[in-house]
Structure 1
Amino acid sequence: MALLKKFSGDAVRLIQFPPPPLKGGITVTLEDLQCLDSGQYLNDVIIDFYLKYLIQNASAAISKRSHIFSSFFYKQLTRRDNASEGGNNDLLGCQRQRRHQRVKTWTRHVDIFDKDFLFVPVNQEAHWYLVVVCFPGLEETQMVDWVGESQGQDEAQQCKSSNDHSEILVRLDPSDGMETETGRQAHLYWDQYNNEAENGQDEVAKDPPPPCPVTCTEHTCVRRTVCRRPCILIMDSLKLSSHERICKLLREYLQSEFEVRRGSSREFGLDQMKSSHCQVPLQDNSSDCGLYLLQYVECFLKDPVVHFDLPLQLQKWFSRQVVRKKRDEIRNLILNIYRHQNMDSKNT
């Protein structure tokens, strides 16, 4: 961190990624970097930066099949109507179309129905979680032949099974960083989580079965046929958030986007696109939800799910130690990019 001592203001610009002349660059400041300190909550800049970095460095085979939305997509989709949008009109169809109108330009250069995976980062009540829309272009479940890498192989993968069998139920205690407004909101959130766990209301606390090995991904699946289905996957490191609304809004968004993009109607209801809570590694503190979101995406891009037998059993997708190293990894990545961009600017 000696490199940063010369900076005197939090708003000091460190990097833009990707750098010009590439479009869509995200500016990361010193203040953003401080979100990576222990106990702090990741902000939307760090989330969006690392997601963009992941998709740009993913293999061509998976990157061309994937689209990652900005963290502002959900915020814009759920923004309250204002007077200019005709907020007094409560017709469901008009509401759906107005919401789509707010975000329709975000996909003007991409047909999401040609993609297999749409990643949507969501921040709800100061808590980050991930939504993955799978196979939005499919109208029904398909069984397809599969010959995977795992047949006859036992590769060591960072994002494969973990030997830690104790990472299913965790107790959350508020940690550092509670002075901020985000921290205060999150504090209430953690209290609610622990209270529901004590009352036996939370599904995580109901004697979960031992975690199964991951067998549904490209590197682990040994099946000869796999199931591909249109679905909405929820990956939440706390499992406390209410996800019904986001699933409903995404189904309505897909319906409107399909009408605009394809010029015809198609249903995206519960019967056509099921939603499911994935069994994923869980956080053990009150501040790492953003890191888990990023790790879910990183593992998915490195080792995509190929067999969609819901709910997905991904408890052993990665170890807790992987997440504990994530803050330093992202910080070092930003500083390395800073050095390279600084060096390039001096040489021009």
Structure 2
Amino acid sequence: MSDMSMCPSNLYLRLQASPAKKATCDYHFFNTFFYKKLEQAISYKGSDKESFFVKFRRWWKGVNIFEKAYILIPIHDDLHWSLVIICFPDKKDESGPIILHLDSLGFHQSSTVFSNIKSYLKEEWRYMNQEVVPTDFPIPDRIWKRLDRRIEEKIIAVPQQKNDYDCGLFVLFFMERFIQEAPERLKKKDLAMFGKKWFRPEEASDLRKKIRTILMDEFQNVFKSGHISESSSLSSDLGSYGAISFSRLGGLSTNGLHFECHIAHAKEVRVQPEKFGSEKVT
């Protein structure tokens, strides 16, 4: 899945995180651009490393990640997608955060992913220790004081894709299925919910049709008004692109329809349909 396909992916993530979804107030969803920024932040070697991290914190401004039950981070690297879920157990469990890595091809190096996510949590832990009273967190004081040593990691066995292009769909389906089945706070025994037979691979691949329908419905609504308003669910997802071709969205064939999105100003994106050839990218 290319950078261009991040737009519909982020739109779908936003829909998953909508208030109508089950207990999503206890989840925090980072978008598809976050992990690359995280890598840059933790690898930064300048003398102003601390201030650099403070600027990086704008990505979750106003959110105390340690209060959440789950943090979901899509990872895009080397033309492949996988998913990280950071789980913060219940205060009664007396255990630290657990980092889960879900990969439908086993392509991403889990050790590198775990190292990066651990570094991120440790940096945020150090920052929060300077700014906030530990009792503000649903984490036992004994665990909080040694949080940098209490972070666990787990490679999760999941259904595997049967081709080399459905990785993005699998990540979205991992998230959707997890939201449906996860308890309020994860306990180690709950890891049994995962496995190679968690769902049929075809269920993830079929998500392509669902996303296509969502996108087409959204754009049809846009055509009625001729623009995307600031309040539209598409606004922030399209705002980063000068043009979006549906034929390039992770294999989402759209029968030759090409949509040009012209940025008019900060609060509005004008949309015009345009016919093109039979190009199809999978």
TM superposition score category, shorter chain reference: 0.5 to 0.7
Higher helix proportion? 2
> Using the alignment, how far apart are the partners of 1:342 and 1:334 within structure 2?
12
**How far apart, CA to CA, are the structure 2 residues paired with 1:42 and 1:287?**
14
Q: Is the 8 A contact 1:115 1:136 kept in 2?
A: no
For residue 103 of structure 1, report the CA deviation from its aligned partner. 1.9
1:309 aligns with 2:262: no
Match of 1:320 in 2: 201
Matched ranges for 1:1-348 at <5 A: 43-56=5-18, 58-59=20-21, 61-79=22-40, 87=46, 97=50, 100-135=53-88, 141-142=93-94, 230-263=97-130, 266-269=145-148, 271-305=149-183, 306-309=186-189, 312=192, 313-344=194-225
Conservation of the 8 A alpha-carbon contact between 1:131 and 1:232: yes
Q: Is the 8 A contact 1:100 1:253 kept in 2?
A: no
Counterpart of 2:169 in structure 1: which amino acid? L
For 1:76 and 1:276, how far apart are their aligned partners in 2? 23
Cα offset, 1:136, TM superposition: 7.3
Query: Identity of aligned pairs, percent?
Result: 23
Measured in 1, the distance between the counterparts of 2:4 and 2:200 equals: 20
Change (3 A) 1:298 1:57: farther
1:191-244 C-alpha deviation (Å, 9 max, x unpaired): xxxxxxxxxxxxxxxxxxxxxxxxxxxxxxxxxxxxx76200001101232122
In structure 1, what is the equivalent of residue 244 of structure 2?
Answer: none
Measured after TM superposition, the shift of residue 71 of structure 1 is 1.5
> What secondary structure, in the 3-state scheme, does the structure 1 residue paired with 2:18 have?
helix
Moved more, 228-237 or 304-313: 304-313
Give 1:335 shift. Answer: 0.7
Question: Post-superposition shift, 1:250?
Answer: 1.7
Alpha-carbon spacing, 1:272–1:78, altered in 2? closer, same or farther (3 Å)? same
Query: Would you say the 8 A contact 1:41–1:288 is kept in 2?
Result: no
Q: Is the 8 A contact 1:231 1:273 kept in 2?
A: yes
Distance, in Å, in 2 between the alignment partners of 1:282 and 1:75 is: 24
Residues 49 and 129 of structure 1: CA distance in aligned 2, closer, same or farther (over 3 Å)? same
**SS across alignment from 1:119:** strand
Name the CA distance, whole Å, in 1 between partners of 2:51 and 2:74. 21
Aligned equivalents of 2:118, 2:146: Cα separation in 1? 9
Counterpart secondary structure, 2:40: coil
Q: Secondary structure at the match of 2:168?
A: helix
Task: State the alpha-carbon separation in 1 of the partners of residues 96 and 158 from structure 2.
Answer: 19
1:63-116 Cα offsets, whole Å, 9 max, x none, are 01000012111111112899xx763x5xxxx75x46633521111121111100
**Greater share of residues in strand:** 2
Equivalent residues, number? 213
TM-score, normalised to structure 1, is: 0.53
**Greater RCO, CA 8 A, separation 6+:** 1
RMSD over aligned Cα, in angstroms?
3.2
Query: CA distance change for structure 1 residues 55 and 267 in 2, over 3 Å: closer, same or farther?
Result: same
User: 2:4, 2:166 → 1: CA distance?
Assistant: 8
> TM-score normalised to the size of structure 2?
0.65
Contact 2:75 2:81 in 1 (8 A): yes
Structure label with greater radius of gyration? 1
Secondary structure, counterpart of 2:163 in structure 1: coil
Instruction: Identify the range of structure 1 (72-81 vs 304-313) with the bigger mean alpha-carbon deviation.
Output: 304-313
CA distance in 2, matches of 1:113, 1:80: 19
In structure 1, what residue type is equivalent to 2:199?
F
Closer, same or farther: CA 126–132 of 1 in aligned 2, 3 Å = same
Contact 2:170 2:205 in 1 (8 A): no
Task: Encode CA deviations 1:174-198: one digit per residue, 9 max, x unaligned.
Answer: xxxxxxxxxxxxxxxxxxxxxxxxx
- Please list every run of 5 or more consecutive structure 1 residues that lacks an aligned counterpart in the other structure: 1-34, 143-227
